Amino acid sequence: MIDIYIMGRRYQVPEGLTIIQALEYAGYKLIRGVGCRAGFCGACATIYNNKNDPQLRYALACQTVVEPEMYLVQLPFFPAGKAFYDLGKIKPSGEVILNLYPDIVKCLGCNSCTKSCPQDLEVMECMSDALRGDIAAVSIKSFDCVMCGLCAARCPQGLVPYNIALLCRRLYGRYLSLPSKHLQDKIEEIAAGEFDSELEELKNMSEDKLRQRYKERTIEPP
């Protein structure tokens, strides 16, 4: 058993648990701040440090194992600004990025956003690319972003790198990426009703049969 501190209160938990497992072991019922438990959804952003060490560290609670004398707090939501736009009415340009997120010009290049990213993304580079209007570069470099918000929480200028990167990925997907014939063919098949009977069959299945069908599904090779 090891000692950890949750919101300033000491708890003893078994060694080897993830932060989420330790929270639940300590009696916390997680409603917010927990999601896929696999490092993909970004819902369990956590800030922590260790006793007698003021250095703040950043992690996803489902992927980080507790350490002795860890002081932690979760950050399931950060009140960062988000621009509203109609993707069909804007164009993929640097001017659009600046119009929607004008504060991006205040970036100090301090790299706090990169240091806080639990995905080890080069967030500051993404912001530099966004300032230059290089939407494709931002999309590629931010592809693994899970929208946890820790970069915005640490930015001294109040920027929202993850929302800026999301805008770029949407612009790239809508206007710049090559069309997928496979996807278009599948959409046309769905619109023509080719899968209606199969969908109806699934809707009428019991939960046990659905689970069995899922286990027996054919998985395409990568």
Task: Supply the CATH number for residue 22's domain.
Answer: 3.10.20.30
We report the CATH number of the domain holding residue 185 as 1.10.1060
One domain, residues 181 and 135: yes
Q: What is the pLDDT of residue 189?
A: 94
Q: Are 116 and 142 in a shared domain?
A: yes
Is there a single domain that holds both residue 82 and residue 132?
yes
Beta-bridge mates of residue 50: 53, 70
Q: For the chain, what is the domain count?
A: 2
Residues in Cβ contact with 86 at an 8 Å cutoff, skipping those fewer than 6 apart: none
Is 70 exceeded by the pLDDT of residue 115? yes
Task: Name residue 57's beta-bridge partners.
Answer: 48
Of 16, 40, 74, which residue constitutes the final position of a domain? 74
| Residue 222: predicted pLDDT | 61
- pTM listed for this prediction: 0.75
pLDDT tier, 103 (very low <50, low <70, confident <90, very high otherwise): very high
Quickly state the pLDDT bin for 123 (edges 50, 70, 90). very high
Q: What is the pLDDT of residues 1-14, one digit of tens each?
A: 999 999 889 999 99
Q: Are 20 and 4 in contact (CB under 8 A)?
A: no
Extract the tokens encoding 56: 């703040």
Rounded mean pLDDT of the chain?
92
Report the amino acid identity of residue 79: P
What is the model's pLDDT at position 14?
A: 96
What domain range is 46 assigned to?
2-74
pLDDT digit string, tens, across residues 23-51: 999 998 888 778 888 888 888 999 999 98
